[in-house]
Structure 1
Amino acid sequence: MTSRRESASGGKGTGRFSLAGAGQVLAKQGILVAFALFMIGFTIANERFLDPDNIMGVVRSSAILGVMALGVTFVVISGHLDLSVGSMMSFATIVVLDLHDKIGPALAIPTMYGMVLCLGAFIGFLVGYLKLNSLIVTLGMLSAIHGLTLTYSGGKNMDIADKEGTWFSVFGQSDIMGIPVTILIFALLASFLGIVLAKTPFGRKVYAVGGNGTAATFSGIRRARVVFCCYLISASCVATAGLIQASRSLGSQNTVGQGLELEVLAAVILGGASLLGGSGTIFKTVIGVLILGFIQNGLLLVGLQFYVQYVVTWIIIILAVWLDIAAKRGKLWSPIA
């Protein structure tokens, strides 16, 4: 009788342990589970979903968003936000297109990078050294940079005059061994920044500042400098995204990046970076970007209208935040209201 009770109790305990373990795995690796489920679901719905050409097209179209998300990952892990990246990308695209015909692409590209980095440095100074709220600062800069873009362009769209005779298109239209240069830029930048974040002293400082800024300061970490550098990294990624966008179309509207800041933030959060700071990886940000890209593509393949993507993106953000909170408390839900 006793052995039966012990056996039953052991079985019950094992069941509880298994459920708890499964919940913890789902909370910590929910992004990978969700990615697999989305891929399986859309493959069943439309057999063309896993076609190699379709996959390559999705990754290529997601590269610009992905490049921006790589930089924002540093900012979010450091415990801050950057809502200015969409407007900044519009500014970068317009500037490099305008300067292309005036001073040539060889000078236009570094000049554009310098101007965008100045904007990033200004934001980093306000947030890092003056300790201003990053949400307020970058929300204000979103409008300010948009106004700067319209002022610079005179409210007009930009186009390159000689689209056939320029090498500038190599960044957005060319292939190397069948792989689009856009994807190669995204992959190389993700690999480099992934190593910086995971394997260097600076990366450990970013995690420390985002996890507990006060403790990081008492540990001798120059908190303001780390935050400042994170915004510089974000600005450099935005400049790269603007370069790819301009090279892809050789022309652009002055609002080309409008609204992208929310998609970028959704991809970063979906990748597991906590809004509270201190957690996240470049690899999972890349997965988050791909999930958004494949969801948008899958919805179109199954025949849904493009505006449904906005609703789905909202649902994804809510799901990502829920999984983020679940990972912190070790449970998918709490019995306490």
Structure 2
Amino acid sequence: MATLSKQDIGKILARQGILIAFAFFIIGFTLANGRFLSPDNVMGVVRSSAILGVMALGVTFVVISGNLDLSVGSMMSFSTIVVLDLHDKIGPALAIPAMFAMTLCLGAFIGFLVGYLKLNSLIVTLGMLSAIHGLTLTYSGGKNMDIADKDGTWFDVFGQGTALGIPVPILMFLALAALLGIILAKTPFGRKVYAVGGNGTAATFSGIKRARTVFLCYLMSAGCVATAGLIQASRSLGSQNTVGQGLELEVLAAVILGGASLLGGSGTIFKTVIGVLILGFIQNGLLLVGLQFYVQFVVTWIIIILAVWLDIAAKRGKLWSNIA
């Protein structure tokens, strides 16, 4: 019988370490609380993860293209506040496309800076995080938003409705995941995204328009953020103007957990969905065992560090560097 060497074990941990750790988490949480894997709890976790998941789908394209987007949290706050404000002014039928148009303009601006001006994506999106937050506060006058007539609107269907017994947010998340999964895996644009992220210089010399590809990735990310903002606004029919604050790190954690490399060129939509669910179930499990919600921030940070370490380890084929 063949035995695994330390190097083989290291490769397995580097490539599947997150899933192995998640399996241990599931076992531990189930033993600690029998309600963890109950149908109601599982459905609740998936539903609560839908907003984060929708945002992560768009960021997956950005990360695979070799860039980052740290502006998605504040952009989601902006989308939510705008659609709630316009709902009472022009009605939901016009408020929704108007919000999408405004959010896509923000994504197009970021895509222009990173794609065509070739500015560093970390610096640009970190700056836009603050800029969009300021824009949101300016738009709202520093106030939270609520829909005046909450009982007389059909707008709540996106966040509170069900179809065939399944919450609409879950259906929207899965439908968008299926669509973007096909685009990434089966279309020429998807292959261009992988090429640009894997080796941007080689992609340019092979005739791929690198700037346009990066621009479109940020545009898709903004569209996903607008969808997440729509679900968030519809779910509560009101919102604080900081509702998306901090979500950028959770989104990035979910994408990296799904196997997308921060170095670009690798990742899939399906694995991002898995990463979103891993993060959602871990956070839910922490609450069920009695830990305070703020422990999630520490755990998220640990998960990001672990995921990045395993990503780098997978590239070099071992967990530890030769350099002490």
Normalising by the smaller structure, the TM-score range is over 0.9
Q: Which runs of 5+ in 1 are unaligned?
A: 1-10
1:235 aligned onto 2:222: yes
Of 105, 112, 128, 2:92 maps to 105
Structure-2 residue corresponding to 1:289: 276
Which shifted more, 263-272 or 64-73?
A: 263-272
Partner of 1:93: 80
AA aligned to 1:238 is V
Matched residue SS, 1:193: helix
* Structure 2 Cα separation of the partners of residues 16 and 44 of structure 1: 30
3-state DSSP of counterpart to 1:49: coil
- Deviation track 1:98-148 (CA, whole Å, cap 9, x = no partner) reads 110111100000000000000000000000000011111111111111111
Match of 1:264 among 235, 251, 254: 251
- Cα offset, 1:49, TM superposition: 0.2
**Contact (CA 8 Å) 1:58, 1:297: kept in 2 or not?**
yes
1:212 aligned residue: 199
The reply on whether 1:299 has 2:286 as its aligned counterpart is yes
> Which of 84, 105, 118 is the matching residue for 2:71?
84
Identity of aligned residues (%): 86
The structure carrying a bigger helix percent of its residues is 1
Q: Does 1:153 find its partner at 2:140?
A: yes
> Which residue does the alignment assign to 1:65?
52
What is the TM-score when the length of structure 2 is the normalising length?
A: 0.97
Q: Secondary structure at the match of 2:36?
A: helix
Q: Indicate the SS of the match to 2:218.
A: helix
Q: Which of 17, 41, 44 is the matching residue for 2:28?
A: 41
Residue pair 1:31, 1:272 contacting (<8 A) in 2 also: no
Q: 1:269 offset after TM fit, Å?
A: 1.2
Q: What is the rounded CA distance, in whole Å, between the counterparts of 1:265 and 1:59 in structure 2?
A: 18
* Number of matched pairs: 324
Instruction: Give the CA RMSD over aligned residues.
Output: 1.2
Letter in 2 for 1:199: K
Output the amino acid matched with 1:201: P
Q: Find the aligned partners of 1:25 and 1:199 in 2 and give their Cα distance.
A: 28
The equivalent of 1:31 in structure 2 is 18
Counterpart of 2:131 (choices 123, 144, 160) is 144
Unaligned 5+ runs, structure 2: none
**How far did residue 301 of structure 1 move?**
0.7
Would the aligned equivalents of 1:271 and 1:286 in 2 still touch at CA under 8 Å?
yes
TM-score (norm 1): 0.94
**What SS is found at the alignment partner of 2:323?**
coil
Deviations 1:162-186 (A, max 9, x none): 1001000000001111110000000
* Corresponding position of 1:15: 3
Measure how far apart 1:222 and its partner are: 0.2
Read off the aligned partner of 2:34 and give its amino acid letter: E
Whose Rg is larger?
1
